[in-house]
Chains A and B, each alone.
Chain A
Amino acid sequence: MTTREIATHLARTSRAFPLLGEITREDLLTLVTTDLGHPDSLDDFQPCGTHRARAIAPRTILHVISGNTPHAGLQTLLRGLLLGSHNLCKIPRTGAPELNAFAAALPPVLANRVEISSDLNDEWLTHADALVVFGDDDTIAHFRALTRPDQIFVAHGHRVSFGVIFGDHAGAAPAAARDASLFDQQGCLSPHLFYVARDARSFAARLAHEMEAFEKHSPRGKLGPSESAAIAEVRATAAFRAAQGEEVALWQSRDSTAWTVIFQNSTAFIPSCLNRVIRVLPLPDDLPAALAPVRLHLSTVGIWPVTDEIVARLADTGVSRICPLGNMQNPPLTWHADGQRALAPLVRWLDWES
C-alpha cells in the first residue's frame, strides 16, 4: 500500500473521530512532505541533493500510551499507520476506549496493522524497531533502559502549559475556560494557570462565570477521594489566605469540586492539582523568571489576542508551541510535539547515488 492510499483510508476513518480535528488526505500528505521532503518519500527514491534517497519506516513501532488524554494516543497511532508500520499499542490498565474504537473503525488492510493490549509482553519489546513512549519520568526511564541500541526511542515526558491574556477579557474568558476544562486538565496541553496583563482579578471573575457555564454543558468526570481532597485543600488554603487580607480570591462550584478559579497576586508559576483548578496571576515583566521552576517541562502557551508582537515576546520563554487561546487542546497534525518532528525521528534513510 502506498502512502497516498494509506492517507485516503486514514482520512476517511478519522472523520468519525472529532477528537482528532478535521483531517483530510491532503493534511496527511502535507505532514509527510513537511517531515520527509516529499509525499512519496516512503514509497520511492526522491531527489536529495546530488543523489536520491528513500525513507525506511520501522517495520514495527511499540507505542506506550498513557491514560490521561486519548488525543496523544490516537495521534501516535495515526502517524505509525501513515508510515506504513505495524503498530503495537501498550495501553493503561484503565483502558483506552478511543484507541480501540479507532482501530475497529479502520479498513481491514490497516486494522491488521494494529495490536492493542494493556499487558506488555517481552515479545513486543524484542520485536519493535522503534518505541514511542508517553508518560512520567519513571515510565520513560524504565523503557529507555529496556531499549536496545539498534531500536529507535522517542519519549514524550510530562509537560505543563499555560495561557497569557493581553486584552479583550470578554473574548478570552470562554476560550480560557474551554482550554482549562477539556480533558479535565489532565493533558500536557492543559493550562495550569493564566497570566493576565491588566486587571487579572476581574478576568478571574469572568473566567469563573465561564467555567460554570462549561461545567453545565460538559460536566467534569467523577474524581477519587484523593483528587477531591487535593482540590478541597487548595480551596481551603486560598480561603484562609484571603481571610488574612492577602491578595487572593477564590471562586468555586457549589457543593462540589467541579471547578475552581483562584486569583493570586504573585508571579511564579504554580502547578495546578488539575481537574479544573485554574489560577489567574498578573503577567510579570520578567515572564521567563516566573517560569523558571518549570522551564524544562513547558509545552504550550495559549495567547489572546494573537499578534506578531505577542508571539515574539513569548518565543524565548522555553515553550515549544504558541497558539490562540481556546485551541490549546487542538494542535495541528503537523505540530512538533515537545519540539520534535513527528515522523522524521522514526525513519532511517536509504541513499542511492547513481
Chain B
Amino acid sequence: MSGRVLAAEIELETAVLAFMAGDRTASFEELALRVFRFQQEHNAPYAAFCGSASVGHWRDIPAVPQSAFKHAALRCFPAEETAKTFRTSGTTGEGFGEHHYRSTRLYDAAVLTGWDALGLPLLRQFVLAATPGEAPHSSLSHMFGTLGARGAQKYYAPDAFDVAELAADLEESREPVALLGTALAFLAFFDRLGVRKLNLPDGSFAMETGGYKGSGRDITKAALYARFGDSLGLPPESIINEYGMTEMSSQFYTRGLGAPHAGPPWVRALVIDPETGRDAVPGAVGVLRIFDLANLGSVIAIQTHDLAIACGEGFELLGRDPAALPRGCSRAADELLSR
C-alpha cells in the first residue's frame, strides 16, 4: 500500500474516531461523503458496482447487497495487509461472505462507544458463545471479546457447556450480572434448565442477539422474553436486543419490548420500499439499508434483507417474515436445498 493511501485512510479513521468520541467538527454528512469517495477510489469491486452514480448526499450512496461480501473481496487495502477477517455463516448455499479489516480500531471503538451509550453498569459478564480465540472469524465473538473491557468475562460454549455449572455460577453471584449471547443459545439454555428457575440478583441484565435462521425454531420476541422471566426472573426492561451483522461494524440496540432500535450517531438507517428501491412511505414495511462510518475499510452502505418500519431516527425491526414466504408445493431456494 502506498504511503499516500495509508495516510488518507489514517486521516479519515482519525476523523471518524473523533466523531465517535463526540467531536462534531465534521458532520455525519461530510464524513459519509468523504468515506464514500475514499472507498470509490480504493475499493475496486465497489467502484465497479457504483459505476458513474452521482452522489451529493449520504442517502444517495449506492448500497451493496449483503451477498456482495460473498462475491468479491470488498476492501480498500491490499489483501496482504488484512489483519482480521470475519465470515458470515453461509446458510443459503452460496458459500460464506467475508468482511476484511486492516485494523479493528474503528470496530472496537464502535462496539465500546455504542455500548457505553446504553448507560449500563459494569458487571461480571457470562457469555454464551465461543471465545474470540475459539472462533477467530466470528464477528459476534469478537464483539463479545471487546466488551470484556467492560467487565470480567466467563464463556460457555453453546451446545457444549455444562448447564449445572452455569446455573451454579449464576446462583452463587451475590452481585448483579450481565448475560450475553445469541437468542438461540439462550433458548437452548432455558430448554435444558427445564422448570428450574434461577433468580438473578437485582440489577442484572441480559443482551441477546441474532435470529433463528436455519435452526428450525421460530418464536416471537415476547415469547422469548417471557422465557427470560420464567428461567432467570428478568423482566423485559432488563433485556437488550442487539442488531448487528458481519457486514456491518456498528450495532443497533433496543431495550425491552415495543421500543424501536436505535444506532449510535455514526450510523444511519433507511427503510427502502423493495418494489421501487426508493424510501418506503412513513409507517410502511420495507428493507433496512445501513450507512456505517465504521465500515471505512470496506463499504459504507449495506442493503440488508431485514424488514423494518422507520421510527424516528431508528426502526422497528421485523426481521425476515417467514409467514410472507411463498407457500405450497413450489419452494424457494434455501428452504428446498436445506432439506
Contact = CB atoms under 8 A, between A and B. Distances in A.
Given A239-B49, A240-B65, A271-B331, A224 B324 contact: yes
Given A225-B287, A293-B337, A233 B330 contact: no
Report, as a range, how many residues of chain A touch the other chain: 35 or more
Contacts of A270: 333
Interface centre among A135, A158, A187, A270 (most CB of B within 10 A): A158
Interface in A200-243: 223-233, 236-237, 239-241, 243
B332 A229 contact: no
B47 to A, nearest CB: 9
Contact of A243 (B49, B303, B320): B49
B71 to A, nearest CB: 5
Interface centre among A186, A188, A237, A257 (most CB of B within 10 A): A237
A68 interface: yes
Contacts of A243: 45, 48-49, 51
B285 A225 contact: yes
Interface in B37-54: 45, 48-49, 51
Interface stretch (A7-15, A167-175, A272-280, A341-349): A272-280
A239 B321 CA distance: 25
A245 interface: yes
B45 A68 contact: no
Contacts of B71: 237, 240-241, 244, 246
Nearest to A273: B332
A226 B325 contact: yes
Contacts of B45: 243-244
Interface string B310-339: 000000000011001111111111011101
Report, as a range, how many residues of chain B touch the other chain: 35 or more
A226 B332 contact: no
A273 B325 CA distance: 9
B327 A230 contact: no
B67 interface: yes
B329 A188 contact: yes
B72 A68 contact: no
Contacts of B284: 225
B312 to A, nearest CB: 20
B78 interface: no
Nearest to B336: A271
Contact of B274 (A156, A228, A246): A228
Contacts of A50: none
B339 to A, nearest CB: 6
A256 interface: yes
B289 to A, nearest CB: 11
A190 B275 contact: no
B275 A257 contact: yes
B308 to A, nearest CB: 10
A66 B49 contact: no
A58 B79 CA distance: 69
B276 interface: yes
A72 interface: yes
B320 to A, nearest CB: 6
Interface string B65-83: 1111001100000000000
B257 to A, nearest CB: 22
A245 B321 CA distance: 33
B307 A271 contact: no
Interface in A85-100: 92
A308 interface: no
Contacts of B287: 225, 229, 232
B277 interface: yes
B294 to A, nearest CB: 22
B329 A237 contact: no
A233 B328 contact: no
Interface string B59-102: 00000111110011000000000000000000000000000000
Interface of B: 45, 48-49, 51, 64-68, 71-72, 273-277, 284-287, 303, 305, 307, 320-321, 324-333, 335-337, 339
12 contacts: A136-B335, A137-B339, A223-B275, A228-B273, A232-B287, A233-B67, A236-B64, A241-B71, A243-B49, A257-B274, A270-B333, A274-B330
Given A229-B307, A257-B274, 19 more contacts: A68-B326, A92-B327, A158-B329, A160-B336, A185-B330, A188-B330, A225-B284, A225-B287, A228-B274, A231-B274, A233-B303, A236-B303, A239-B49, A240-B68, A241-B71, A246-B71, A255-B276, A257-B275, A293-B337
For the complex of A and B, list the 3 residue pairs with the smallest distance between their C-beta atoms, beginning with the closest. Answer: A68-B328, A226-B324, A236-B65
